[in-house]
């Protein structure tokens, strides 16, 4: 297995340019995206009791923090590019790690990037009507099937190309972008919360339970419906571990950034949901496709909605940059292990960024956007992604047994009980998803299996090169 800092002196390697502040903002920007402005309505449709819905935001945030604590121990042990790929490789071996990376490339992280690009297009179109996402630019038939190129797809592709170019130019420039969007998010949310409660047109009665509505419709199935978007809204914190090789003093700063970043997200999510409920009753938020815009409009003025849409487009743009930054480091690390295309190891001599990995990733994401298949693929891999989190937290137990003497600058708080709790909760979610969405889950497993012959091929090439060099 490749050891940390094993690249020979004098060769190109990733440079540690990300500070603690950069790292915290990366967690915030990578997690929030547009979800907090859309998902509150989905949660309230499943849990129409406003106080209970707020409580579930805290509970799922707490579960996410437990995973972050485990990841913090692993990240401090292996402060290199690749994050979860490295943790899984060290704990379970090369094959499970390859499958993890393969799933990320084919669907998991790539579809997240596509979704972020589409979110930029959708909300930019709401703010600027001339850029309406559903405007058809070109229509034809391909192999007998209708194909329409919408303006939103073009804007999304341009957004992904721009953030990729920024990431190629400099990891620090990419950090400045995500710092700006993360700070903008924090300032805007805190501003809306402060002004909303102090000056907005809302009512505290919206937090009351109404027996004829909310309490009567609380069901176990409703909780299940709400849990999926809740877990999705907290996804993205793990991107920080993927860029461990570019964090200054990573053994200290990576754990601190994960913990403080996740806590910031939990607090702002809770505050945002509270002010949304202060603005509108739970039923109105649940029926709105854009609950944040509706709430801000009710608090202040309907004219503010266009500015909210522009703001969400900006946040989505920053989130796209984080997924681009992190994903390329996974594939770079895989290639260094001989488990992916060897060209993915190429770094820019001038900028010290994994340029080939970034370009290939960009091309694949653009194909997904133009094919309109990104949303179907993402549904298939909700099951797979949650499974990888279970494996990551489980790696803490495995590595404490198999590598007891490796330095651990940070040890997971609450070990072993909190990691066990996470594995039980997330494992239950995996089983529930497999039972309730068997088709999507099996499709995810099937696409992972497609990578098996590729892994065998790359391992044989790796063995052949080793024999040649030994001869």
What is the DSSP code (8-state) at residue 290? Answer: S
In angstroms and rounded to an integer, the radius of gyration of the C-alpha atoms of the chain is 22
Task: Report domain extents, the chain.
Answer: 20-464
How many CA atoms lie less than 13 Å away from 131 in the CB half-sphere?
A: 20
Residue 453 burial (C-beta neighbours within 10 Å; 0-12, 13-18, 19+): exposed
pLDDT score recorded for residue 215: 46
Query: Residue 150 forms beta bridges with which residues?
Result: 136
For 28, 238, 276, 310, 320, the CA distances from 185, given in Å and listed in that order, are 9, 19, 16, 12, 14
Is the separation of the CB atoms in 75 and 243 below 8 Å? no
Smallest CA-to-CA distance from 94 within 411, 443, 463 is with 463
d(Cα 324, Cα 190) in Å, to the nearest integer?
A: 27
Indicate the fold that domain 20-464 takes in CATH: Amino acid/polyamine transporter I (1.20.1740)
Query: pLDDT 10s digit of each residue in the chain, 471 long?
Result: 444 333 333 344 678 888 999 999 999 998 887 788 888 988 988 888 899 999 999 999 999 999 999 999 999 999 887 889 999 999 999 999 999 999 889 878 888 888 889 889 988 888 888 888 788 788 777 777 777 788 889 999 999 999 999 999 988 888 899 899 999 999 988 998 999 999 888 889 888 776 544 444 667 666 777 787 888 889 888 888 888 888 899 889 999 999 999 999 999 999 999 999 999 998 888 888 778 888 888 888 777 777 888 888 999 999 899 899 888 999 999 999 988 988 899 988 888 899 999 999 999 999 988 887 655 555 666 677 778 889 999 999 999 999 999 999 999 999 999 999 999 988 887 787 777 777 777 777 787 788 889 899 898 888 888 777 776
Model confidence, pTM: 0.85
Distance, in Å, from the CA atom of 101 to the CA atom of 331, rounded to the nearest integer, reads 7
H-state helical runs in 200-245: 220-233, 239-242
- Work out the number of other CB atoms within 10 angstroms of the CB of residue 397: 17
Cα dist from 372 to 121, 360, 365, 380, whole Å: 14, 19, 11, 15
In the prediction, which pLDDT does 214 show?
46
How far apart are the C-alpha atoms of 169 and 24, rounded to whole Å? Answer: 22
The confidence score (pLDDT) of residue 376 equals 59
């Amino acid at each position: 297995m490749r050891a940390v800092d094993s690249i020979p002196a004098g060769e190109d390697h990733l440079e540690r340019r990300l500070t603690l502040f950069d790292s915290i903002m990366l967690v915030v920007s990578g997690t929030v995206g547009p979800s907090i402005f859309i998902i509150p309505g989905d949660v309230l449709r499943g849990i129409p009791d406003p106080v209970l819905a707020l409580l579930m935001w805290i509970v799922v945030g707490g579960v996410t923090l437990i995973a972050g604590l485990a990841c913090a121990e692993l990240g401090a042990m292996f402060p290199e590019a690749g994050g979860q790929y490295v943790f899984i490789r060290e704990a379970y071996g090369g094959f499970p790690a390859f499958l993890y990376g393969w799933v990320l490339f084919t669907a998991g992280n790539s579809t997240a990037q596509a979704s972020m690009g589409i979110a930029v297009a959708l909300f930019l179109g709401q703010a600027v009507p001339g850029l309406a996402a559903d405007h058809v630019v070109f229509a034809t038939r391909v192999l007998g099937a209708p194909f329409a190129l919408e303006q939103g797809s073009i804007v999304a592709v341009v957004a992904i190309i721009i953030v990729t170019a920024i990431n190629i130019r400099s990891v620090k420039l990419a950090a400045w972008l995500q710092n700006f969007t993360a700070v903008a998010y924090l300032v805007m949310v805190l501003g809306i919360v402060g002004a909303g409660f102090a000056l907005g047109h809302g009512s505290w009665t919206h937090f009351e339970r109404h027996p004829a509505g909310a309490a009567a419709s609380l069901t176990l199935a409703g909780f299940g419906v709400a849990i999926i978007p809740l877990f999705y809204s907290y996804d993205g914190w793990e991107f920080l571990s993927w860029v461990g090789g570019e964090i200054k003093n990573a053994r200290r700063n990576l754990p601190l950034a994960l913990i403080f970043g996740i806590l910031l997200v939990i607090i702002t999510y809770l505050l945002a949901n509270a002010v949304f409920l202060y603005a509108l009753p739970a039923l109105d938020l649940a029926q709105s496709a854009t609950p944040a815009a509706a709430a801000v409009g009710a608090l202040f003025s309907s004219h503010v909605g266009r500015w909210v849409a522009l703001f969400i487009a900006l946040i989505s743009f920053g989130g796209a940059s984080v997924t681009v930054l992190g994903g390329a480091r996974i594939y770079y690390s895989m290639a260094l292990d001989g488990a992916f295309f060897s060209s993915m190891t190429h770094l820019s001599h001038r900028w010290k960024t994994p340029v080939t990995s970034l370009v290939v990733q960009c091309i694949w994401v653009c194909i997904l956007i133009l094919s309109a298949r990104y949303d179907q693929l993402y549904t298939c891999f909700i099951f797979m992604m949650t499974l990888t989190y279970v494996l990551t937290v489980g790696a803490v137990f495995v590595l404490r047994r198999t590598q007891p003497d490796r330095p651990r600058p940070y040890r997971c708080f609450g070990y072993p009980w909190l990691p066990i709790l996470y594995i039980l909760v997330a494992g239950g979610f995996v089983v529930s998803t497999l039972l309730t969405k068997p088709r999507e889950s099996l499709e995810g497993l099937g696409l992972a299996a497609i990578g098996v012959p590729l892994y065998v091929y790359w391992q044989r090439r790796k063995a052949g090169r080793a024999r040649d060099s030994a001869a």
